[in-house]
């Protein structure tokens, strides 16, 4: 099964690589640009760029083959990477004569040819397997959630070349609709009768003796056996399986930013984005806001607050002061006083700064220093963290990554005062979802929505 999927992956990667080479050659001819020896290096970088961008965007994941539109949408960022790579190369060699025409033609040709190629690839694959060519029969042991989920994948993806011949279990569920083949005692007979190529063990609980009997029978008949552990009982949807000293280790929560290359991409993006903001916006906006704050109330322009960053490390968070300087964050009972609607501590200018998120802008200095990221779970005050981690499950998982100026929870409406435990839990759920599903395109989406919200203003910003 894995070999079939890998074979499909290599075929798709190879055909895409051929498309890149053909499109580049055609773009060269149509733009009247002569091919030189150094263009071999360009082709090499274009292919390497495609390989890494396709891995990053998961272009060749199995689920991409289920619907054509899914694969097409993920194709776009990969083509953008090709265009950017081409532009950088032409800039470095100072080739301005053919640059625009070559880049335009190459991107256009790659888009057209890739779109057509992937459509034809899907149609041809479906035609081959619908005709029964090289179809392999699979027998699934178990009728639990994982077993049924596996069955649905093969039913919806005939291009993989597998067909579920039936299920075996000690009890016959009614929902199998004729797919029940028998129990363990009849396994040997089923393997012979139905010409089974592979057996998938998908039991809800691991029973060593039961699995050993299955393996004994399948190996006697020369049939491959694959075992799918049942992890859904833990309630996790994101997993990461690794080998440590030859031993398999399962991490129950996926965190892409544990990978150094993803951290590097995010860090480079943070540095470039924060520098652009500081140079082109802070240069004129900080003096304006500073004057307004000073005219509105006495006290410093900036407000420095200790908060928790990545791995619960304390950081000093920069903000424009939006409250009266003598204001306290402590209630009379000693608890943390969150900002609330019509909060008497907030100044007139402070209300505007909070509503437009402008009070958070100095945190771009935190980003530049490496304490924060442009996008991530919002950092909370120390006392807020101490109180919240006792009330909300998984609260401190938010601190697996650097805190952000804006975040997935904020753009989904979970910002501002969070006295309601249910809303606080929801915010944490969004933060954890962001950590498990991070990619650079998600960051760009969150930044775009944040800018839009800043322009229109937010009801929960006070």
pLDDT in tens, 174-203: 777 778 888 899 998 999 888 888 898 988
Task: Report the pLDDT value the prediction gives residue 204, as an integer from 0 to 100.
Answer: 80
Query: What SS3 class is residue 224?
Result: strand
201-223 residue pLDDT tens: 988 877 889 999 999 999 888 88
Distant-in-sequence contacts of 88-93, Cβ < 8 A, 24+ apart:
89/42, 89/45, 93/38
In a domain, 241, yes or no: no
Q: Do 323 and 450 belong together in one domain?
A: yes
| Burial class, 383, CB count within 10 angstroms (exposed 0-12 / middle 13-18 / buried 19+) | middle
Indicate the DSSP class of residue 346. B
In a domain, 462, yes or no: no
Q: Do 95 and 213 belong together in one domain?
A: no
DSSP H helical segments within 131-255, as ranges?
145-156, 187-193, 208-220
- Above pLDDT 90, what percent of the chain? 23
Taking the chain, what is the end-to-end CA distance rounded to the nearest angstrom?
Answer: 55
CATH (domain of 197): 3.40.50.720
Q: Do 80 and 29 belong together in one domain?
A: yes
Pair 64, 58: CB distance under 8 Å: yes
Q: Do 270 and 375 belong together in one domain?
A: yes
In a domain, 177, yes or no: yes
Q: Do 46 and 121 belong together in one domain?
A: yes
Q: Do 15 and 105 belong together in one domain?
A: yes
67-77 residue pLDDT tens: 667 777 788 88
The arithmetic mean of pLDDT across residues 290-303, rounded, is: 87
The arithmetic mean of pLDDT across residues 424-431, rounded, is: 90
Q: Do 146 and 122 belong together in one domain?
A: no
- Candidates 47, 52, 43, 44; CA nearest to 24 is 43
Would you put residue 161 in left (φ > 0), alpha (ψ -120 to 50) or beta? left
23-34 residue pLDDT tens: 999 998 898 887
Question: What's the pLDDT band for 380 if we cut at 50, 70, 90?
Answer: confident
DSSP H helical segments within 363-456, as ranges?
363-369, 382-391, 408-411, 421-436, 440-456
Indicate the DSSP class of residue 336. B
In a domain, 405, yes or no: yes
Structural domain ending residue among the three candidates 107, 130, 153 = 130
DSSP H helical segments within 31-165, as ranges?
39-56, 68-92, 99-130, 145-156
145-158 residue pLDDT tens: 888 888 887 777 76
Query: What SS3 class is residue 161?
Result: coil
DSSP state letters, 349-382: HHHHHHHTTGGGTTHHHHHHHTS-EEESSPP-BH
Q: What is the number of domains present in the chain?
A: 3
In a domain, 331, yes or no: yes
335 pLDDT more than 60: no
Task: Report the pLDDT value the prediction gives residue 35, as an integer from 0 to 100.
Answer: 79
Q: Do 7 and 153 belong together in one domain?
A: no
In a domain, 251, yes or no: no
The arithmetic mean of pLDDT across residues 425-437, rounded, is: 91
Task: Report the pLDDT value the prediction gives residue 462, as an integer from 0 to 100.
Answer: 46
Q: Do 23 and 102 belong together in one domain?
A: yes
Highest mean pLDDT among 33-42, 220-229, 249-258, 370-379: 370-379
Q: Do 314 and 406 belong together in one domain?
A: yes
Pick the more confident residue, 438 or 1: 438
Q: Do 23 and 163 belong together in one domain?
A: no
Rounded Cα gap, residues 235 and 95, in angstroms: 55
Highest mean pLDDT among 112-126, 237-251, 397-411: 397-411
Task: Report the pLDDT value the prediction gives residue 111, as an integer from 0 to 100.
Answer: 92
89 pLDDT more than 50: yes
The arithmetic mean of pLDDT across residues 86-104, rounded, is: 82
Q: Do 161 and 226 belong together in one domain?
A: yes
232 pLDDT more than 60: no
Q: What is the pTM of this model?
A: 0.60
In a domain, 59, yes or no: yes
Structural domain ending residue among the three candidates 80, 102, 130 = 130
Structural domain ending residue among the three candidates 77, 99, 130 = 130
In a domain, 93, yes or no: yes
Pick the more confident residue, 408 or 99: 408
Domain containing residue 192: 136-235
Question: What's the pLDDT band for 372 if we cut at 50, 70, 90?
Answer: very high
């Amino acid at each position: 099964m894995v070999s079939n999927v890998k074979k499909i992956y290599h075929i798709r990667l190879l055909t895409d690589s051929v498309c890149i080479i053909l499109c580049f050659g055609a773009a060269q001819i149509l733009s009247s640009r002569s091919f030189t020896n150094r263009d071999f290096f360009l082709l090499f970088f274009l292919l390497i760029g495609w390989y890494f961008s396709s891995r990053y965007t998961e272009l060749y994941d199995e689920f991409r083959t289920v619907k054509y539109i899914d694969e097409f949408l993920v194709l776009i960022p990969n083509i953008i990477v090709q265009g950017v790579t081409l532009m950088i190369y032409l800039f470095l060699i100072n080739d301005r004569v053919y640059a625009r025409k070559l880049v335009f033609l190459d991107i256009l040709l790659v888009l057209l040819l890739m779109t057509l190629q992937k459509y034809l690839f899907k149609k041809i694959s479906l035609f081959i397997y619908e005709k029964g060519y090289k179809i392999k029969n699979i027998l699934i042991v178990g009728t639990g959630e994982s077993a049924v989920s596996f069955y649905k994948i093969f039913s919806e993806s005939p291009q993989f070349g597998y067909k579920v011949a039936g299920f075996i279990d000690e009890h016959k569920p009614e929902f199998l609709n004729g797919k029940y083949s028998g129990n363990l005692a009849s396994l040997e007979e089923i393997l012979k009768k139905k010409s089974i190529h592979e057996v998938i063990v998908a039991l809800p609980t691991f029973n060593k003796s039961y699995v050993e009997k299955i393996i004994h029978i399948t190996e006697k008949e020369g049939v491959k056996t694959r075992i799918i552990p049942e992890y859904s009982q833990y309630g996790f949807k994101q997993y990461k399986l690794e080998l440590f000293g030859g031993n398999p280790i399962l991490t129950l929560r996926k965190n892409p930013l544990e990978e150094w290359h993803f951290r590097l991409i995010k860090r480079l993006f943070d540095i470039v984005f924060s520098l652009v903001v500081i140079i082109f916006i802070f240069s004129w906006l900080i003096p304006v806001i500073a004057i307004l704050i000073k005219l509105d109330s006495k006290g410093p322009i900036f407000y420095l607050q200790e908060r928790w960053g990545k791995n619960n490390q304390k950081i000093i968070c920069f903000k424009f002061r939006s409250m009266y300087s003598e204001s306290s964050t402590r209630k009379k009972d000693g608890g943390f006083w969150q900002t609330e609607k019509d909060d008497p501590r907030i100044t007139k200018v402070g209300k505007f700064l909070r509503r437009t998120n402008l009070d958070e802008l100095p945190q771009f200095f935190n980003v530049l220093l490496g304490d924060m990221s442009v996008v991530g779970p919002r950092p909370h005050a120390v006392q807020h963290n101490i109180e919240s981690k006792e009330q909300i499950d998984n609260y401190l998982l938010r601190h697996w990554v650097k805190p952000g100026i804006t975040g997935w929870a904020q753009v989904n409406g979970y910002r501002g005062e969070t006295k309601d435990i249910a809303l606080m839990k929801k915010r944490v759920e969004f933060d954890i979802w962001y950590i498990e599903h991070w990619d650079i395109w998600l960051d760009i989406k969150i930044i775009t929505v944040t800018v839009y919200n800043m322009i229109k203003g937010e009801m929960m910003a006070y």
